[in-house]
Amino acid sequence: MRARPALCLRLIALVSFLALAGLISGRTGSTQQTQRQPPASAAPSPSPTPSVQSPSRVLPGIQVDNDSQTVITNSDLITLTVTVTDTFGRFVTGLNQNAFTIFDDKEQQQITFFSDEDAPVSLGVIFDVSRSMGGEKISRAREALAKFIETSHSGDEYFLIGFNDRAQLLLDKTRDSDALLNKLTFVQTKGQTALYDATYLGVEKVTRGTHPKRAVLLISDGQDNSSRYTFTELRRLLKESDVIIYAVGIVSGHDDSTLDMGGRSILEELAGVSGGKAFFPSSTAEMNDTFERIALELRTQYSIGYKPTNFVNDGKWHKLKIKVQPPRGFPRLFVRGREGYYSVTNPK
């Protein structure tokens, strides 16, 4: 019985020792764990995600302001799509970079990007289905559109917009050309002509397309009489974008009265400001040739890029002039492209 107090004392001493050892170990582990964790201020910040720049846009700066989440870009590359023809209107391919000269506000620029690749296009087909397009007009235009597709790049992407009193997206972002033609098979022609609204919608759609090369094929028989957008607003959009307009004025026989009233000049202006062209075929054969020619032009264009010298992000209009020097032995060549660009920070 006398040994029990001694045994108890030993057990108490052992438990105390183990508790003290555990406490010391816990403190040591905690200290080591704290040392392995870097302070919050030393944690690396994520890299900014670069913004996607639309060709022909000027975007000066790239940097992310974490407080305001404002993205400023640092790329000022201007890209242009140009078409070269000879005196007979035939497309000229095979030219090299040295054949081209670019002037930005009369100041010569150094070309930093050049390509003559047969690249696919994001194409908006804007089809007039107003009352005046009834009868043979719409069937002739649809047949010609089929010829266009046969000549086009197999990788082309299509948007189909029909318009009468209002513009309507009939087909969104597809490579199925048969689906596009089928949509126009049973369409009903009625109402007036919201040409400006339809073109505005088409430009906005192809701007968000997959391919860097973008164009609109505008098919109509007359001027606008039902749009909410004005001609001035549409023209401004075209000058801000990199979308080329090809306009085809549809007439029936000798009936070109709608074009005489201003439709012809409207289509020519919309096409010209974008670097495209307007056509006014007077027969079925001529219409088929026109659509095939547009498809071929899209496949034989040159893409040219440069960085403007003394760039200023002032939002102002900069006028462009493109010259082409024919190789020795070639006749005179003609070059067509957009008229200029706005120096803007935040493109639409």
- As beta bridge partners, residue 81 has 303
Mean pLDDT, the chain, whole residue set? 80
Task: Tell me the two tokens of residue 345.
Answer: 């920070």
Give the fold, CATH level 3, of 122-299. Rossmann fold (3.40.50)
Mean pLDDT of 106-131: 96
Better-predicted residue by pLDDT, 9 or 187: 187
Task: Give the least confident one: 68-77, 181-190, 312-321, 333-342.
Answer: 68-77
**Amino acid identity, residue 343?**
S
Binning pLDDT at 50, 70 and 90, where does residue 71 land?
very low
Mean pLDDT of 50-63: 35
Better-predicted residue by pLDDT, 93 or 64: 93
Binning pLDDT at 50, 70 and 90, where does residue 75 land?
low
Distances, alpha carbon 178 to alpha carbons 149, 173, 182, 290, in Å: 9, 13, 6, 20
Q: pLDDT tens for residues 174-198?
A: 999 999 999 998 888 999 999 999 9
With a cut of 50, say whether residue 21 has pLDDT above it.
Answer: no
Better-predicted residue by pLDDT, 249 or 73: 249
What's the rounded Cα separation, in Å, for the pair 312 and 333?
33
> Quick check: helix, strand or coil at residue 307?
coil
Reported pTM: 0.76
What's the rounded Cα separation, in Å, for the pair 14 and 34?
31
With a cut of 70, say whether residue 317 has pLDDT above it.
Answer: yes
What does the DSSP 8-state code read for residue 265? H
**Amino acid identity, residue 4?**
R
Are 172 and 205 contacting, i.e. CB atoms less than 8 angstroms apart?
A: yes
Number of Cβ within 10 Å of residue 58's Cβ equals 24
Binning pLDDT at 50, 70 and 90, where does residue 339 land?
very high
What's the rounded Cα separation, in Å, for the pair 279 and 26?
85
> Quick check: helix, strand or coil at residue 344?
coil
Q: pLDDT tens for residues 240-293?
A: 999 999 999 987 655 544 555 578 899 999 999 999 999 999 899 999 999 999
Per-domain residue ranges for the chain?
77-116+303-342, 122-299
For 87, residues 6+ apart whose C-beta sits below 8 A from its C-beta are 331, 332, 334
Binning pLDDT at 50, 70 and 90, where does residue 314 land?
confident
What's the rounded Cα separation, in Å, for the pair 154 and 32?
63
Would you put residue 244 in left (φ > 0), alpha (ψ -120 to 50) or beta? beta
How confident is the model at residue 77, as a pLDDT?
86
With a cut of 80, say whether residue 26 has pLDDT above it.
Answer: no
With a cut of 50, say whether residue 310 has pLDDT above it.
Answer: yes
Q: Where are the alpha helices (DSSP H) in the chain?
A: 3-36, 136-151, 177-183, 195-207, 231-240, 257-258, 264-274, 284-299
What's the rounded Cα separation, in Å, for the pair 112 and 95?
16
Computed on alpha carbons and rounded to an integer, the radius of gyration of the chain in Å comes to: 32
**Amino acid identity, residue 7?**
L
How confident is the model at residue 1, as a pLDDT?
44
